[in-house]
Amino acid sequence: MHVMVLGAGVTGVTTAWYLRQAGFEVSLVDRQAGAGMETSFANGGQISISHPEPWANPSAPWLALRWLGRADAPLKIRPAADPAQWRWVLAFLRECLPWRTRRNTAAIAALAVWSGHCLGRLRDETGLEYEQRRRGILHLFNTPREFAQASRRVAELAHFGIEARVCQPADCIAIEPALAARQSPLAGGIHAPGDESGNAHLFTRALAERLAQAGVRFHWNTQVLQLNHGNGTINSIDIADGAGRRGALIADAYVVCLGSHSAALLAPTGMRLPIYPVKGYSITAALTKPARAPEVSLTDESRRIVCSRLGDRLRVAGTAELAGFDTRIRPERIRPLLDWTRQNLPGLIDEASIEPWAGLRPATPGNLPLIGSSTNTNLWLNTGHGTLGWTLACGSASALVALMRGEQAPVAYPFLG
Ligand SMILES: Cc1cc2nc3c(=O)[nH]c(=O)nc-3n(C[C@H](O)[C@H](O)[C@H](O)COP(=O)(O)OP(=O)(O)OC[C@H]3O[C@@H](n4cnc5c(N)ncnc54)[C@H](O)[C@@H]3O)c2cc1C
């Protein structure tokens, strides 16, 4: 059976990997010239199993109001005359209800734990190198009020089988000595030793190379224009190549892994996916003193900023902006990332080498990826991974392939269909 995967970000490439491992004939289509060139290109790098709580939680609406009008606010809404944006915002507010947050957190935690196992197994089997570090994630709290929630969070993580411990400021510095130079007081932290970090783009590219060696066909520079459907199945997809020449591709089944662009392509088939782009930014810079740079990945819980060391470079990422499909880099949104680096890791990056980047998180209101079957019998979804696509990629892909083979889902998750 020939399965065509649409989209070669981290989600699409891992889907192709597990399909190939299961014996399917696989091809991959992407409008870019290579794998992982859009949202999977320069994300925060964290395999963050210890952060299953979605952005949509009971405190989110109040935080959003507090941040209103601040240029450096972690969340910025640029209202547009786009009904999809408003529908998404309303659905997001509904997901902030406490019981929905609890349900979403449990589902993400289960998928994240499973995904961590899958990533480990894949790494053992392939020996892939992607600037990975397995030193955990240290979550930092800047104020005693925020730190007061640490024990509750650790207990909740323990309930999901995720190891974490509350750390006083001195413990944080013992775990990550680079924090000793921090210029503002630290209230405390949580250390999750099972978490990891790594370069999602390198991983995606390296895995795509393995797939090519395994006989998977890639259609690069190929834009998917439309899915042709009838009688409850997808019959073919219309495409255009880099020179604008049009054509069609045919397979027995299709998997949509098109990130933020999934909703627009599926709308004509009658499916309304609740995916909207939430823009984020990162900076990547060379380390001036690699020996003094952090080894542990960091999450600043107060500022919503994450930081991962990738080889001899540092990646700092964060901010959320509802601005449609605009991927322009706004200097005022990059500024908080630079300020954070100067305050927390002073003198550690070569500012002349900074590479700024912006990408669109394919976000569902509750941050639950859409994984499973659809109303068309040969169309499957693995998309909408929002803030955690790198963390959840391997688990989502392997679970989807189990479902496609008619097997029992390997993890308790609200799969589609
Ligand atoms: C600033 C930032 C920081 C982040 N940090 C983290 C983190 O630390 N940890 C974590 O787990 N997650 C993180 N994420 C989220 C993660 O990066 C995403 O969830 C993940 O990359 C989504 O992968 P994807 O494959 O679904 O989408 P993409 O990587 O966007 O892949 C979609 C692919 O579809 C292709 N495509 C789209 N439309 C078409 C079309 N019409 N025809 C052909 N091809 C098409 C694109 O070219 C692209 O290659 C972060 C995101 C951002 C923005």
Residue 12 CB less than 6 A away from ligand 1:
yes
Strands, DSSP E only, in 223-296?
223-230, 233-240, 246-249, 253-256, 276-286
Which residue's alpha carbon is nearest to atom 1 within ligand 1? 280
Q: Which atom of ligand 1 is nearest to the CA of 278?
A: 53
CA–CA gap between residue 321 and residue 67 (Å, rounded) = 12
Cβ–Cβ < 8 Å for 237, 378: no
pLDDT of 77 reads: 81
CA–CA gap between residue 222 and residue 362 (Å, rounded) = 20
pLDDT of 195 reads: 98
Cα(first)–Cα(last) distance of the chain, in Å? 21
Which residue's alpha carbon is nearest to atom 22 within ligand 1? 389
Q: How far is the CA of 239 from the centre of ligand 1 (A)?
A: 21
Strands, DSSP E only, in 294-395?
297-300, 305-310, 313-322, 355-363, 370-373, 379-383
CA–CA gap between residue 62 and residue 238 (Å, rounded) = 45
90 contact partners, CB below 8 Å, separation of at least 6 = none
Q: How far is the CA of 8 from the centre of ligand 1 (A)?
A: 9
- For residue 149, the tally of other CB atoms under 10 A from its CB is 14
Cβ–Cβ < 8 Å for 394, 119: yes
Number of H helices and E strands in the chain, helices first, is 11, 20
State how far Cα 80 lies from the chain centre: 24
Q: At residue 371, what are phi and psi to the nearest 5 degrees?
A: -130, 125
Residue 30 CB less than 6 A away from ligand 1:
yes
- For residue 238, the tally of other CB atoms under 10 A from its CB is 14
pLDDT of 61 reads: 87
Q: Which residues pair with 315 in a beta bridge?
A: 284, 308
pLDDT < 50 positions in the chain: none
pLDDT of 72 reads: 74
Which residue's alpha carbon is nearest to atom 27 within ligand 1? 259
pLDDT of 407 reads: 96
- For residue 57, the tally of other CB atoms under 10 A from its CB is 20
Which structural domains are found in the chain, ordered by start?
2-40+202-274+367-404 (3.50.50.60), 46-196+275-363 (3.30.9.10)
CA–CA gap between residue 172 and residue 175 (Å, rounded) = 5
Q: Which two tokens stand for residue 202?
A: 């390198």
Q: Which atom of ligand 1 is nearest to the CA of 388?
A: 11
Which residue's alpha carbon is nearest to atom 26 within ligand 1? 259
For helices 389-404 and 10-21, the axis angle rounded to 10 degrees is 30
In b/e form, how buried is each residue of 359-378, taking b as 16+ CB within 10 angstroms?
A: bbbbbbbbbbbbbbbbebeb
Residue 198 CB less than 6 A away from ligand 1:
no
Which residue's alpha carbon is nearest to atom 4 within ligand 1? 43
Which residue's alpha carbon is nearest to atom 19 within ligand 1? 389
pLDDT of 80 reads: 82
Q: What is the pLDDT of residues 363-384, one digit of tens each?
A: 999 999 999 999 999 999 999 9
**What does the H/E/C string look like for 48-93?**
CCCCCCCCCCCCHHHHHHHHCCCCCCCEEECCCCCHHHHHHHHHHH
